[in-house]
Amino acid sequence: MSISLKSKFIGSILGTAIGDALGMPVEGWSPSKIEEVFGEVREMMTGFLPEGSYTDDTEMAIGIAETIIEKGRVDPDHLIKVFMHNYDPRRGYGISTTMVFRLIEKGIPWDEASKSIFNGKGSYGNGAAMRIAPVAVFYYDDFEELKRAVYDASRVTHMHPLGIEGALIQATAIALAVRKDPRKRLDVEDFVDNLLLVCESDVFREKVKKIGRMLAEGINDKYVVVKELGNGYESFTSVPSAIYSFLLHWSSFEDAVVYAVSLGGDADTIGAMTGAISGAYHGVEAIPQRWLEKLENYEYLKSLGEKLWELKTKSK
């Protein structure tokens, strides 16, 4: 029996939260510090939040799932309200996302607020990509719809084209993973070629090409991966590393997410993005039970994946 679509939907939502919670304690650490102190992060630990807690990445993914479930699509006017309703500053939000919320509270429309960040350029932080799993699974079978929905889910806080492009590439990786049968060998070269088709900027095109070259060379040295692909808070210094972590360890959810977190830097977000792709590929059964048992709000997160799947299959 093949892995069910339902399992893949739930796997991508829970995969986001698991990667986020696993990386949370070492966010901002260098890969060498993580290696010295822990060897590797293979268990949930306490960090700036208690063991098994998720951060803003998952809180915002929840907001997107709630909007799709309530509205049947990504309605940006509704989404920004849900984001602000759910906002818990203890979860470590990006600086400019917090600024956008403050401006909206003062009465500025969201599109103006989002655009005003970074001298009118908008943010290219990875905040749009980190939360995209609900959109990606919901539109996994229709690229044009996916692109439109990613745009709407991103621009409420991330107006910079690179912020949105990062979310689109991450969403495309998740959508491709949903479509693949995990019992067959993954053709990583073909996967990278498909991602290249959605790249719009030279910045991302060069990074995605580099992913292909590095995989062909079999590079798994995390210091080389951080140097070449990054471990930062920008979309283009984290989305490529998350995709690389998945493709290097496509056959194991656990190994992919542990590797992503080992890169350090924005470890929770890189972990969340790798978890979203790998969870969409393997389905929820591949996520270690010992991690799920520790995860905050496990039942609710699972129910969001289930509801997205119900809505998707009902609308067919």
- Interface size with ligand AR6, residues (CB under 6 A): 21
**Least Cβ distance, residue 280 to ligand AR6 (angstroms):** 20
Which CB atom, from 61 or from 74, has the smaller least distance to Mg ion?
Answer: 61
Interface with Mg ion, residue 55, by CB under 5 A? yes
Nearest to ligand AR6 of 212, 265 (CB atom): 265
Q: What is the 3-state secondary structure (H, E, C) of the chain?
A: CCCCHHHHHHHHHHHHHHHHHHHHHHCCCCHHHHHHHHCCCCCCCCCCCCCCCCCHHHHHHHHHHHHHHHHCCCCHHHHHHHHHHHCCHHHCCCHHHHHHHHHHHCCCCHHHHHHHHHHHCCCCECHHHHCCHHHHHHCCCCHHHHHHHHHHHHHCCCCCHHHHHHHHHHHHHHHHHHHCCCCCCCCHHHHHHHHHHHCCCHHHHHHHHHHHHHHHCCCCCHHHHHHHHCCCCEHHHCHHHHHHHHHHCCCCHHHHHHHHHHCCCCHHHHHHHHHHHHHHHHCHHHCCHHHHCCCCCHHHHHHHHHHHHHHHHHCC
User: What's the closest the beta carbon of residue 269 comes to Mg ion, in angstroms?
Assistant: 5
List the x/- string, 95-134, binding to ligand AR6 by CB under 6 A: xxx--------------------x--x-xxxxx--x----
Determine if 234 is a binding residue for ligand AR6 (CB under 6 A).
Answer: yes
Cβ-closest position to Mg ion? 55
CB of 29 to Mg ion, least distance (A): 14
- Judged by CB under 6 A, the chain residues 2 through 31 that form the site for ligand AR6 are none
Binding at 123: pick from Mg ion, ligand AR6, none (beta carbon under 5-8 Å per type): ligand AR6
Number of residues that bind Mg ion (CB under 5 A): 4
**Which spans of this chain sit near ligand AR6 (rule: CB under 6 A)?**
55-57, 92, 94-97, 118, 121, 123-127, 130, 160, 233-234, 266, 269
